[in-house]
Amino acid sequence: MGFPDTTREEALEFYEEFLQTGVLDDYRYTMASKLGTSEQVDPVRMAATISEFTAAKILSDAGYRVTPEIEVTTGHSLDFRADPPDAAATPDGGGGVLVEVTRPRPPTRRHADTPVAAVRETAETKTSGQLQKHGGGAVLLVDCSGFRDDEWAAVRGEQPGVRHRPAVVFRARPSGRVEAYSKGSLPLDLDGAVEWV
């Protein structure tokens, strides 16, 4: 699941507790198919999908209803729409917030030699492609849950920008604790789900 310094059982428990809430039950096929759309085992794609589960948990813990794979006018899909719990249950979600998720590979597993560079490079790839085509309005969630304590400390200390606003850079732990910082005016209230640093 990409959590460093933890056991497989602790990581599985983190996701199993979330999935047992039933938040994604209506989208079980959609989320499961994301894990298995490659002809061969693709750890990078699978890690990216795990980040989407983590992001869905954060949004849900903050009180939002999440709908995955939202088609937009540019011909592609963004990862989620987050609707407040009191929003009308309509196809357009009553004006929910579009969310895209990205997961930087830790610097020990990529060419970027520092944690800050890893965050910047991954976010730049996302923002110069999919989000640039979309033309704004989506929140970018950058999942650093795969970073070790010292790597996250470097990112948390510098809080680098990610060339997209609004954005939230976060790190979740199997205990359920999530640390995060934001850039830009965030149209989501995540106070109940993250600890701002």
* pLDDT class of 59 with cuts at 50, 70, 90: very high
Q: What share of the chain in percent tops pLDDT 90?
A: 56
- Please tell me the least confidently modeled range out of 39-53, 126-140, 158-172, 176-190: 126-140
Is residue 145 within 8 Å of 53, Cβ to Cβ? no
The pTM of this model reads: 0.89
Choice between 44 and 67, residue whose per-residue pLDDT is larger: 67
User: Which residue, 90, 103, 20, is CA-closest to 57?
Assistant: 20
Choice between 117 and 174, residue whose per-residue pLDDT is larger: 174
Q: What is the overall mean pLDDT for the chain?
A: 86
pLDDT of residue 169 exceeding 70: yes
CB contact set of 85 (below 8 Å; sequence gap of 6+): 63, 64, 65
What is the rounded CA–CA span in Å between residue 108 and residue 158? 19
- Please tell me the least confidently modeled range out of 55-69, 109-123, 165-179: 109-123
Is residue 75 within 8 Å of 60, Cβ to Cβ? no
Please report the domains of the chain, with CATH numbers, ordered by start residue.
Answer: 8-196 (3.40.1350.120)
* pLDDT class of 129 with cuts at 50, 70, 90: low
Give the phi and the psi of residue 79 in degrees, each rounded to 5. -65, -45
For 196, the 3-state DSSP assignment is strand
Highest mean pLDDT among 67-81, 83-97, 156-170: 156-170
Average pLDDT over residues 67-78: 84
Highest mean pLDDT among 43-57, 117-131, 164-178: 164-178
